[in-house]
A and B are shown apart, each in its own frame.
Chain A
Amino acid sequence: MNWTWFHKWGSPKWFYQVSGRWLTGCAWSAALLLLVGLVWGLAFAPPDYQQGNSFRIIYIHVPAAILAQSCYLMLAVAGAVSLIWKMKLADIALQQAAPFGAWMTVIALVTGSLWGKPTWGTYWVWDARLTSMLILLFLYFGVIALGQAISNRDSAAKACAVLALVGAVNIPIIKYSVEWWNTLHQPATFKITGKATMAMEMWLPLLIMIIGFYCFFATVLLLRMRLEVLRRESRASWVKTEIHRMLEKSQ
């Protein structure tokens, strides 16, 4: 097998150059998909026959919850790569994705609680799904705090990678919490395979919102990673050239 594609990721300079091209595409796709998804979900999708219009919260609740979990999985993969190959870029990705994941968990919890009030009659219950999502939020806080508390970059990378990997055990717990325990939370609505649980005209805007959230994540992550690459590689000559170029452009 040819491993050159993997070795390229060892070079922050290569990443900085290609990510500049990816960024524009991600940003435009995110803007377009989120706009279409929002208008479709809020105004055009039919109301739910039981929940009425409060079900429209699904169009942000489900994408945010999916992103919160995908982002943590990404942290665990980046952690493994950074532990095994000592790849600088993997540690940068881990550190820069963690705040976004925490924010997505907050959105999922807040929108879920606003959805719970009209549907279940309460903002919060100590139910398996809700509690395991709260634990996910604390895991994110742990990764962020650990990364900032240790001043030695290599030790911080190692500690965060281990926490990200160990914490990943929570992801299947979140996913199966609605099946393993008797919970108030409904089982998964959004499925790619298997029997559809939603009408097409409700499912399609949800799919658009989910892809839109992924594109938004990519945009934010690339923005943050590119800045961090410049900061960490500030002594390299290519970074100095790049900063000169950007300063000339902004003047």
Chain B
Amino acid sequence: MSFSTFGEFLAMGSHGPFVWGAYGISMLVLAINLLLPLSARRTYLQGEARRLRREESK
């Protein structure tokens, strides 16, 4: 472990805002990239389900 206290870990030797900002933004972007295709898949399946129901009721 390179830090002795949790406060030191958060401070990152006065570079805290830069380090945590960079990590925060990057994790957010990674999350967006993972969640978008997952939600697109759900929307697509819901649309297909509606279409199938319509076709069956005809």
Are A and B part of the same complex? yes
Question: Chain A interface mostly helix, strand, loop or mixed?
Answer: helix
A214 to B9 CA separation, bound complex (whole angstroms):
28
Question: Chain B interface mostly helix, strand, loop or mixed?
Answer: helix
Per the CB 8 Å criterion, the residue count for chain B at the interface is 29
A111 contacts B26, C-beta separation under 8 Å: yes
A56 to B14 CA separation, bound complex (whole angstroms):
13
B19 contacts A227, C-beta separation under 8 Å: no
Within 8 A of A (CB), among B23-49: 23, 25-26, 29-30, 32-34, 37-38, 40-41, 44-45, 48-49
Using a CB–CB cutoff of 8 Å, the interface residues on chain A facing chain B are: 34, 38, 42-47, 52-54, 56-57, 60-61, 64, 99-100, 103, 106-107, 110-111, 114-115, 117-118, 216, 219-220, 223-224, 227, 230-231, 243-244, 246-247, 250
- A57-B23, A220-B37 are known; give 12 further A-B pairs, CB within 8 A: A45-B2, A46-B2, A54-B13, A60-B23, A99-B33, A103-B33, A107-B26, A115-B18, A216-B33, A223-B41, A227-B44, A230-B44
